Structure 1
Amino acid sequence: MMLVYDRETLISAAQRAGDHNPSDTARRLGVARNTAWRLWKGRTAPSAPVIAAVQRHYGLSADDLIRRAA
């Protein structure tokens, strides 16, 4: 079983909250800009602390962001 990070879900939630680029997301989540950029581009999956911040600020859970792929 492979787990896949769904970056589009994060980006959609961020944009609904008024965050239109990785810098906005970095400020809101309290992460480095390069971390937010990698999340927006799908270059990395969020760590547990980042998922907690995403849930707090955007209302998305780990299940919303990480999916099982066949």
Structure 2
Amino acid sequence: MAYRLRIDQLRNAALKAGDQRPADIAKRTGISESALSRMLRGQSTPGLVTIMKLRDSYGLTNKDLIEEVAA
């Protein structure tokens, strides 16, 4: 199964929490700005630990953050 980050959901949740910039998301989640930048541009896929950090930081579910895609 292939999956990808639902960037739209992450950005919406971040904005609701007052995090307007990727640097704000990085600070809240503890994910490096460079890793976050690659994820937001669709150049990398987050691992389970990263998904959990995003999920827990913004009160989302795994289903909110990831979607299955054709391999």
CA RMSD of aligned residues (A): 1.6
Using the size of structure 1 for normalisation, the TM-score is 0.81
| Contact residue 54 and residue 61 of structure 1 kept, 8 A | no
Unaligned runs of 5+ residues in structure 1 are: none
* 1:6 maps onto 2:6 in alignment: yes
Q: C-alpha displacement at 1:43, in angstroms?
A: 1.9
Residues 54-63 or 21-30, more deviating: 54-63
Q: C-alpha displacement at 1:66, in angstroms?
A: 1.3
The aligned counterpart of 2:30 is 30
Measure, in 2, the Cα distance between the counterparts of 1:63 and 1:3. Answer: 11
Using the size of structure 2 for normalisation, the TM-score is 0.80
Aligned length: 70
Unaligned runs of 5+ residues in structure 2 are: none
Once the two structures are superposed, residues 8-54 of structure 1 have per-residue CA deviations (whole angstroms, 9 ceiling, x without a partner) of: 11111111111111111111110111011122222222211111111
Measure, in 2, the Cα distance between the counterparts of 1:58 and 1:2. Answer: 23
